[in-house]
Amino acid sequence: MYDIGIGTSDFKKMRIKKYYYIDKSLFIKDILDNKSEIALITRPRRFGKTLNMSMLRYYFDCTQKNTKELFEGLKIMNQGEEYTSKLGFYPVIYVTLKDVRNTTFEKMLLSLKTELVELYIDFANLLKSDKLLDVEKEMFSKILNLKAEELDMQNALKLLTRLLYKEYEKPVILLIDEYDVPLQDAYVEGYYDEAVKFFKNFYGTTFKDNPYLEKTVLTGVSRIAKESIFSRSKQF
Strand, coil or helix: what is 189?
helix
Q: How many whole angstroms separate alpha carbon 48 and alpha carbon 134?
A: 41
Lowest mean pLDDT, pick from 27-31, 38-42, 105-109, 164-168 = 38-42
Q: What is the pLDDT of residues 78-128, one digit of tens each?
A: 999 999 999 999 999 999 999 999 999 999 999 999 999 999 999 999 999
The domains found in the chain, sorted by start residue, are 11-235 (3.40.50)
Who's near 195: CB < 8 A, 6+ residues apart?
105, 108, 182, 183, 186
Q: How confident is the model at residue 183 (pLDDT cuts 50, 70, 90)?
A: very high
Q: How many whole angstroms separate alpha carbon 177 and alpha carbon 166?
A: 25
Answer with the residue of higher pLDDT: 191 or 226: 191
Answer with the residue of higher pLDDT: 2 or 41: 41
Tell me what pLDDT residue 227 has.
46
pTM for this entry: 0.89
Q: How many whole angstroms separate alpha carbon 208 and alpha carbon 108?
A: 24
Answer with the residue of higher pLDDT: 68 or 19: 68
Q: Find the mean pLDDT for residues 126-154.
A: 96
Q: What percent of the chain has pLDDT over 70?
A: 88
Phi, psi of 22 (to 5 degrees): -80, 120
Tell me what pLDDT residue 230 has.
53
Answer with the residue of higher pLDDT: 200 or 232: 200
Tell me what pLDDT residue 47 has.
59
Q: How confident is the model at residue 65 (pLDDT cuts 50, 70, 90)?
A: confident
Q: Find the mean pLDDT for residues 15-41.
A: 90
Residue type for 198, please? Answer: F
Q: How many whole angstroms separate alpha carbon 90 and alpha carbon 44?
A: 29
Tell me what pLDDT residue 236 has.
46
